[in-house]
């Protein structure tokens, strides 16, 4: 279960297991019970007749979970993954990493782009027009100046020493690394 893609589904949520609690000590019996409840809850023929129980209070989080519908395949995959100690450990690591990336992205506003090529500014062609300059590189989509960086763009990102730009002709992205030269 080596993953380069983010974890797209929270298996604990699918099985309605509180991931905020101590999930490390979740017994096989508890997991199996959660699996059976999820199957009953989301089974197309049984879903309308199954309730959570009138005497059980529901939090707003539980109510929002109830609105989601999962397929039998999703529920089975969640159960198989969480019931196998090795798969579960790998899944938990991937889930923690994905959550950390989300938190970091929310803090910094940074977005990861699939297929991101990393180049140095010196690898791009340069053209000067009057007092300004711009750097460019062709893209595989055929746009000769698909990746275009202006001097103003570089000045705006001077503190970071890198800029992420999208191709003007397609959905590819490039990270350009650069160092600021001080005049004088």
DSSP string, 71-112: -HHHHHHHHHHHHSHHHHHHHHHHHHHHHHHHHHHHHH----
How far is residue 29's CA from residue 27's CA, in Å, rounded to a whole number?
A: 5
Q: For residue 155, is pLDDT > 80?
A: yes
Decide: helix, strand or coil at residue 19: coil
Higher model confidence: residue 181 or residue 33?
Answer: 33
Q: What pLDDT does 90 receive?
A: 85
How far is residue 181's CA from residue 140's CA, in Å, rounded to a whole number?
A: 31
Bridge partners for 166 per DSSP: 173
Domains of the chain: 11-107 (1.10.287), 117-177 (3.10.660.10)
Q: What is the pLDDT of residues 44-100, one digit of tens each?
A: 877 655 444 444 444 444 444 456 889 999 999 999 999 998 888 888 888 887 777
**Is residue 136 within 8 Å of 148, Cβ to Cβ?**
yes
Count Cα atoms within 13 angstroms, Cβ side, for 63.
4
- The stretch 114-128 carries a mean pLDDT of 86
Query: Mean of the per-residue pLDDT values for the chain?
Result: 78
Helix axis angle for 85-108 and 72-83, nearest 10°, is: 110
Q: What is the reported pTM?
A: 0.47
Strands of the chain, DSSP E: 117-120, 125-129, 132-137, 147-150, 162-166, 173-177
Residue the block writes with tokens 């005049």: 183
């Amino acid at each position: 279960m080596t993953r380069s893609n983010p974890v797209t589904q929270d298996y604990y949520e699918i099985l309605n297991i509180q991931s905020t609690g101590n999930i490390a000590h979740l017994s096989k019996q508890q997991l199996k019970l959660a699996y059976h409840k999820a199957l009953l809850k989301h089974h197309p023929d049984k879903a309308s007749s199954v309730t959570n129980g009138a005497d059980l209070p529901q939090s707003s989080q539980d109510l929002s979970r109830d609105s989601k519908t999962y397929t039998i395949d999703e529920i089975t995959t969640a159960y198989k993954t969480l019931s196998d100690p090795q798969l579960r450990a790998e899944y938990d690591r991937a889930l923690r990493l994905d959550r950390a990336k989300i938190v970091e992205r929310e803090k910094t506003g940074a977005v990861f782009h699939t297929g991101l090529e990393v180049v140095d500014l010196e690898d791009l062609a340069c053209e000067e027009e009057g007092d300004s300059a711009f750097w460019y590189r062709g893209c595989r989509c055929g746009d000769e100046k698909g990746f275009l960086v202006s001097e103003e763009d570089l000045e705006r990102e001077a503190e970071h020493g890198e800029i992420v730009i999208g191709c003007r002709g397609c959905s590819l992205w490039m990270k350009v690394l650069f160092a600021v030269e001080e005049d004088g």
